[in-house]
Structure 1
Amino acid sequence: MTNAVELFAGPGGMILGLHAAGIRGTGIEWDPNAVATRRAAGLPTIHADVRNHGPRDFPNATVLAGGPPCQTFTVAGNGTGRDELDRVVDAVKRMGDRQTIDPREFNDDRTALVLEPLRWVLEDFEHSYNTIILEQVPQVLPVWEAYADVLREEGYSVATGILATEQYGVPQTRRRAVLIASLNGPVALPQPTHRPYRKGVPQHEGDPRLLSWVSMSDALDRPQPFTVVSNYGTGGDPKNRGRRTSAEPAFTVTGKVSRNRIIGPGGDELPRFTSAEAGVLQGFPADHPWSGNDIPQQIGNACPAPLAAALAHASRAIPASSPAIVEAAA
């Protein structure tokens, strides 16, 4: 069984996906609520700040995984990370030259957390991680691409890109910037297993080699049709709320998922999503033991388990005799 250390471990989405690929491990998480959920689920967890630990604390780990906090990078956040992307990318390059980065270089110290996985990889220690799996909001792709340049100098094969979660069986549309790297041979991003969602295109139409995307009604145990009215406005107009029917995938699940209104066929208000339902839309099992406080935020911040599983499977080295995949990983 492969051993992993997971940074910014959250309530368990990443490690549940890794389990599907035969990878077990320990998570480091500072939020006591997410820690409560992980422990209720029986997931090995250290309640701590990743900055206070390093690879020496996990000498047997061969996989490094994680999804750093996104608050300063996401469009729903304060934007300071997006404003400082060039400086973050420069910091990655300097780390590759073994320079030490002071978090105070950035306007918000949370921005520097996106550099932590690279610190763990480069820290002077007697072994390297065979596999690295990282995910974040799409705005972080330039950081992962800068990581890739550094990691290739360290001997890794690396693949980066933006993936749509509905193409991996998650019943919501969510785009994530991802990075996978391996010391064992060429890697490439996972091939989609499901069709992309396109508004107005029926679920059964599209590439016949792929499965249909998963709708909310497919995933949830709700007998009657419904329409979800998003808590976010569209087109910059807060009054113009997005709407999707239960025959479509959910909108991106955020920490405000409990604010979404659910309307029945006759216009009647239906119960809003429970924690279990919101978790299912994020790719968790229906019986995941959500614990502690601020559960919607835990769910919204989590990595969808099916996406993590796809990344974990793809991170296994691919035989070099497959030229198409070697080219994709270059």
Structure 2
Amino acid sequence: MTSSDTPARFLENPYVLDLFAGPGGLDVAAHVLDVRSLGIEWDGDACETRYAAGLQTWHADVSAVRRDRFHELPKGLNVLAGGPPCQTYSVAGNGAGRKALDKVEKLIRALVNGADEEAIDKQLEKLGGDSRTALVLEPLRYAIKALGCPNRDGRPFDVIVLEQVPAVKALWKVYKDALEEGLPGDDGKKVRYEVAEVKTLHTEAYGVPQTRRRTILIARLAEHGTPPLPAPTHHVYNPHKPKRGGPEDAQAVAQAKAVQIALPIAGTVRSLQPWVSMGEVLKATKQQPEGRESSFEIVSNYGSGGDPKKRGVRTDRQPSFTVTGKVSRNAVRHADGITPHKPDRLLIREAGILQTFPPNYPWSGGDRSQQVGNAVPPLFGMHVLAAALALPLPPEERLRENWPKADDEERATLRKEGCGASDGCGPNCPRPEDQSSPSTSSASSRPRTGASAKRSVK
């Protein structure tokens, strides 16, 4: 099975630099594709998970690395990926990013016209409000920085892969125009990219047992040709019918799925599979906790249609709601809609499985619910990276295999590389007080770019 028609491989040794890497969703996808990756992550809890999972990590501020340590990045990095924090752009967030879209668009154009870093930083200061809004510029700033970096001999990234909430689609289109027009090279010449159509994709259309929308940008250096978007493999779930799954309509839910009650996907040629339900994937992984064998329904912590006063309900015969940082608050009930299930909340392991992480993925550190909710679903990441890099897509069952967790010695080595010390944080790590819980941190603290920050629906 492949996610798209893949031409001949054009990168012999792809090596991904994953900005805002979180607990490792895209890195897990890269691992299954046999692609190396290095993640930069601000949040210490997410880094603990990454070290436990054996993932190469820099515990650092993405902006600080660009300013002060870009020359220290490995020379072989040739794929730039990133999902900047989305809370200021999300409907569930504070809206600062949405209000500043036009200003951020002007800054993108200034960057590609050769504005220097200090000038851009001064303009960003004038934006005021939530400084996380500006982090959407970091991937572009990294792409431009690579062109003038002596350590890279001015070599650009061959591939750029970005993902964000649908509200950022307008900015990704500006990115697309800028990349196709060309970035300012160190020798004065423009470095041009070919960019796929900027499109909002549904993760359940790629086998993820969860309804989640992400807007994707995939770009390749012009010499590599125009990249495709990942082709869907499953139908998109219809959220309007059925809505409930109690005893009286459980059969109707099953019948509806049998006839693929789903929204059509434009341009689809191949035969699509039905969307995947929560119950199916939990059974397939053989990781159901005791008591979860019987049918259940989940009451979302978030409201339907953006209204927090309403609470949607999904049954185990349907895909999950978007897994967010508050997933552990979702009530789990029996199919009668009244009796609490046992366990009556999703376990972290279950939430990770709904995100398509391996069942034994070593979630570590604190705020694990937030870590799970912030991650890119690895199965979706596999489809996107495979399309971007022209790689065949492995069977999704690879994500249900046991994950090779790091032993104590390997963890210490990864921590030393990522933090500067084998048993703690070094001078390049964000300050511990800046990574405290969002509910207790000062409003003036540097906004977190990792797991403890992204509190919106992703």
Written as runs of structure 1 = structure 2, the 5 A alignment for 1:266-305 is 266=336, 267-270=338-341, 271=343, 272-305=345-378
Does structure 2 conserve the Cα–Cα contact (< 8 Å) formed by 1:186 and 1:317? Answer: no
Of 275, 287, 312, 1:213 maps to 275
User: Closer, same or farther in 2 for the Cα pair 1:152/1:234, shift >3 Å?
Assistant: same
Q: Is 1:43–2:55 an aligned residue pair?
A: yes
Q: For residue 204 of structure 1, what is the aligned residue in structure 2? A: 258
Q: Which moved more, 1:194-203 or 1:76-85?
A: 194-203
Structure-2-length-normalised TM-score: 0.67
Does structure 1 conserve the Cα–Cα contact (< 8 Å) formed by 2:315 and 2:335? Answer: no
Q: Is 1:115–2:115 an aligned residue pair?
A: no
Distance in 2 of aligned mates of 1:81 and 1:305:
26
Q: Is 1:178–2:216 an aligned residue pair?
A: yes
TM-align CA RMSD: 1.7
User: Closer, same or farther in 2 for the Cα pair 1:236/1:49, shift >3 Å?
Assistant: closer
Of 127, 134, 139, 2:167 maps to 139
Q: Which moved more, 1:192-201 or 1:295-304?
A: 192-201
How much has 1:105 moved relative to structure 2? 2.9
Q: Is 1:15–2:27 an aligned residue pair?
A: yes
Structure-1-length-normalised TM-score: 0.92
Which amino acid is the alignment partner of residue 268 of structure 1? T
Q: Which moved more, 1:276-285 or 1:30-39?
A: 276-285
How much has 1:232 moved relative to structure 2? 1.8
Number of aligned pairs?
318
Q: For residue 80 of structure 2, what is the aligned residue in structure 1? A: 64
Q: Is 1:167–2:205 an aligned residue pair?
A: yes
Distance in 2 of aligned mates of 1:109 and 1:179:
23
User: Closer, same or farther in 2 for the Cα pair 1:194/1:83, shift >3 Å?
Assistant: same
How much has 1:69 moved relative to structure 2? 0.6
Distance in 2 of aligned mates of 1:11 and 1:238:
27
Does structure 2 conserve the Cα–Cα contact (< 8 Å) formed by 1:171 and 1:216? Answer: yes
Q: Is 1:127–2:155 an aligned residue pair?
A: yes
Q: For residue 105 of structure 1, what is the aligned residue in structure 2? A: 126
User: Closer, same or farther in 2 for the Cα pair 1:63/1:12, shift >3 Å?
Assistant: same
Q: For residue 189 of structure 1, what is the aligned residue in structure 2? A: 229
Distance in 1 of aligned mates of 2:194 and 2:213:
23
What's the secondary structure of 1:135's corresponding residue? Answer: strand
How much has 1:311 moved relative to structure 2? 0.9
Distance in 1 of aligned mates of 2:81 and 2:358:
21
Distance in 2 of aligned mates of 1:213 and 1:40:
32
Does structure 1 conserve the Cα–Cα contact (< 8 Å) formed by 2:205 and 2:275? Answer: yes
Higher Cα Rg: structure 1 or 2?
2
